[in-house]
Amino acid sequence: GENVEQHPSTLSVQEGDSAVIKCTYSDSASNYFPWYKQELGKGPQLIIDIRSNVGEKKDQRIAVTLNKTAKHFSLHITETQPEDSAVYFCAAVTGGFKTIFGAGTRLFVKA
């Protein structure tokens, strides 16, 4: 069945450094790739997304890249801040609007 693998499961960086989270997906019909940030006690919140016809998208300190051939997509956060500390989830959405989430990456940004 459809599957999304996410790495690493935990990531610790120093404030100001960059953080990279990587995901791979199995269903070649996936055409939309959102990234969510989840803080303690809250639901996931969309932070950036990319469609299958785009290779890269940037929004201030956050960027996402997509390699459809390899079925890889990645989240890049530059100049990390303590408030970036949270759990981040990648997801892949098929043409049937079914969303498969990765297992999450817990990001710690040390001040």
Binding stretches for another protein (CB under 8 A) = 4, 6, 31-32, 34, 36, 41-46, 49, 51, 89, 91, 93, 96-99, 101-104
Q: In angstroms, what is the minimal distance from the CB of 63 to another protein? A: 18
Choice between 10 and 18, CB closer to another protein: 10
Per-residue b/e over 95-105, b at no fewer than 16 CB within 10 Å? eeeeebebebb
Spatial strand order in the sheet of 19-25: 4-7, 19-25, 72-77, 62-67, 56-59
Q: In angstroms, what is the minimal distance from the CB of 66 to another protein? A: 14
Choice between 42 and 60, CB closer to another protein: 42
Check if the beta carbon of residue 35 is closer than 8 Å to that of residue 88. yes
| 77, two tokens | 């956060």
Q: In angstroms, what is the minimal distance from the CB of 52 to another protein? A: 10
Check if the beta carbon of residue 99 is closer than 8 Å to that of residue 4. no
Q: In angstroms, what is the minimal distance from the CB of 79 to another protein? A: 26
Choice between 31 and 78, CB closer to another protein: 31
